[in-house]
Amino acid sequence: MIATSEKEDDEVIILTEEDHVSFSQVKISQKGDYISVNFEETNTVLRVTGKPMLPSYTKTFVYPRGTKIKNVECIISEVTSQFIDGKIESTPEPVKLISIKNSINQEENKKESIEDSDIYSSLDLYPDRWFDYKVYSGLIENEPSIILKVNCYPVRYLPGENTIHIVDSFDIEVTYEEPINQKPVQKLYDMVIIAPRRFVVNLLPLVGHKNLRGIHTKIQTVESINREYFTKGRDKPERIKLFIKFAEQNWGIHYVLLVGGLKSHIYANDRENTSYGDWAWFVPVRYTNIDEGFISDLYYADLYKGEGEFEDWDPNGNNVFAENWEELDLFPDVYYGRLPCRNIIEVNTVVRKIKNYERRSHWKEDWFKKMIVVGGITFQNLTGPGHSGEEPDGEWLCNITLDYMKSLIKYPVRIFASNKQGPRPIAGDIISEYSKGAGFVLFQGHGNCFMWDTKYPNSTGDLNWVGGLATYHYPGLRNGRKLPIVVVGGCHNGLFNITLLQTLFDSADGKSDYHAYGSPAKVCFSWKLLTKPIGGAIASTGCTHYGIGWPSDPLNLSAMLESNFFYKVGIDDVSTLGEAHSGSIIKYMMDVNVHGDSGHTYSITEYQLFGDPSLRIGGKIRPSII
């Protein structure tokens, strides 16, 4: 309906959107010492470490930026109760994927089920409401949007009485105010490159290349941002973020490319305090305060929260950013990536690679239609319905990814630990296949800052590492201009704050800041693929801290983001690198009930892209596969 406001000649449009969801009979099953509860129609799970794991149904509504959510109601059907003979299973703590010390010595990072005693002895229902909701801001299908996520809980648990309370339907009603007379943003640029002044001359060929291909690009120096734009930011990362917000609002940018890493390969004091690094960096970095703290470039892309307020990643205003248990927005508002170059040579290398890649129609060539997946045991062999107990979870994730990519990939290559006749995840076999060229590569396993590895099937100890690939093997990668996009699942493979001396003197007793354990490394596993002058990769991803997962549910947390990347490419047919990477975060946020558990924030914020977010996947424009 249309209602007139108190302001003369000013009207607002109030609209209502409704949705109905019904549930069939609850399914109760025994799962070890616990009881599992589920419905066929639920689409996600409420997981909060130590608390009961319960099915939920998430409904997402997307509206244009400027929309105001006035009211959200969920009308439930009649409530019934049912006695259960046992406890509902608790949510385990996310398990770290193990940071490899070396190929023969690493203890498993084992976790046992934990229970929140206050919840499991309570006479109050859990969760405390039948539904909850949160409003986000983000870039949905290239449009700035307001996202409303409504989480419905068809079953609530009363632990003190061993009963569950059940409803069989929800009627969701959203009342919102539609934006009117909203001025469109003037589209001056598509991408802004943020770099130090010393790199500008060497980046100009990339700017010219992008402009010729319709990606209108502007360089802004770090020095000018701090001098001319937002001097009121609390630190330099916040000033850069405020500039990106300005550019998004006033220039209409969709892409942000950060060009600049540490200033030295030898030594650097990489952070001033727990929240940022500046003096040692060409482009400053934001550190989270989750776990031990780690770099997150998502900070620069997550510009807004709620209905469009600035997202500063400091909800309690204590100047400590992204702390444990703080709920952040996490939806990217621009597509982002970083080329953490430390000198002009690296800048010239990546600029040349990007230009050469986009000048040819690689999508027509057979090598581009090949995808290499590398995996073995990440946590365990898969058990339960639909699984034989013999399939390693890492290999299963690789096969899921190949299924997502089947519209693009004609030549899948599985380098699996279970391949008795090969190829297996050892350096020689990986190098042999990689050097033939491939459009895409997925590593699914474990890592540290300079190495990736996995384990053999039925592994029980530390002698079962397969061998993997390390940065000192990279001279053997002879794939020339057949450059893949490489997604790396494992711990610390994207740790781009390392230097030679820091890793050389890194602790070997497990209390490590750089996770090299005394092995010298100047550049991390994922980024070094791009700095290789001939061959290597055109883009990569990697975790800036521990990759994490739930062994009982392999397609979750870090692995979900890595798989989502290929879902965006193969199923959703996105055309640019940033759409695939940021899109994998957006899909995660849309599909998963992230309420209440910091594991989701952990896995999303550490998920780093090394590459040009505007890079056209496959080179010159290819036809849609849809």
Q: pLDDT grade, residue 106 (50/70/90)?
A: very low
Domain end point (choices 129, 153, 178) = 178
Within-domain flag for 428: yes
Q: pLDDT grade, residue 515 (50/70/90)?
A: confident
Within-domain flag for 102: yes
Within-domain flag for 292: no
Domain of 155 in residue numbering reads as 15-107+116-178
CATH code of the domain containing 145: 2.60.40.3800
| pLDDT score recorded for residue 151 | 96
Q: Is residue 508 scored above 70 in pLDDT? A: no
Report, in this order, helix, strand and coil percent for the chain, each rounded to 5. 25, 30, 45
Q: Is residue 240 scored above 50 in pLDDT? A: yes
What separation in angstroms does the CA of 561 have from each of 247, 415, 509, 543? 28, 21, 31, 11
Structure tokens at 22: 């019904």
The number of domains in the chain is 2
| pLDDT score recorded for residue 4 | 36
Q: pLDDT grade, residue 227 (50/70/90)?
A: confident
| pLDDT score recorded for residue 345 | 98
| pLDDT score recorded for residue 511 | 61
- Is the pLDDT higher at 257 or at 510? 257
Reference 486, options 434, 525, 537; nearest CA is 537
Within-domain flag for 462: yes
Domain end point (choices 126, 145, 178) = 178
As a whole number of angstroms, the distance between CA 319 and CA 144 comes to 28
Per DSSP (E only), the strands in 187-273 are 191-195, 217-221, 255-259
Per-residue pLDDT of 555-589, as tens digits, reads 899 999 999 999 999 999 999 999 999 999 999 99
Within-domain flag for 201: no
| pLDDT score recorded for residue 114 | 82
CATH code of the domain containing 365: 3.40.50.1460
- Is the pLDDT higher at 11 or at 34? 34
Reference 613, options 206, 129, 68; nearest CA is 206
pLDDT, averaged across the chain:
91
Q: Is residue 5 scored above 60 in pLDDT? A: no
| pLDDT score recorded for residue 179 | 87
Q: Is residue 185 scored above 80 in pLDDT? A: no
| pLDDT score recorded for residue 228 | 77
Percent of the chain at pLDDT above 90?
79
Within-domain flag for 194: no
Per-residue pLDDT of 445-500, as tens digits, reads 999 999 999 999 876 656 689 999 999 999 999 999 999 999 999 999 999 999 99
Within-domain flag for 429: yes
Within-domain flag for 424: yes
Give the distance between the most distant pair of CA atoms in the chain. Answer: 79
Q: Is residue 518 scored above 90 in pLDDT? A: no
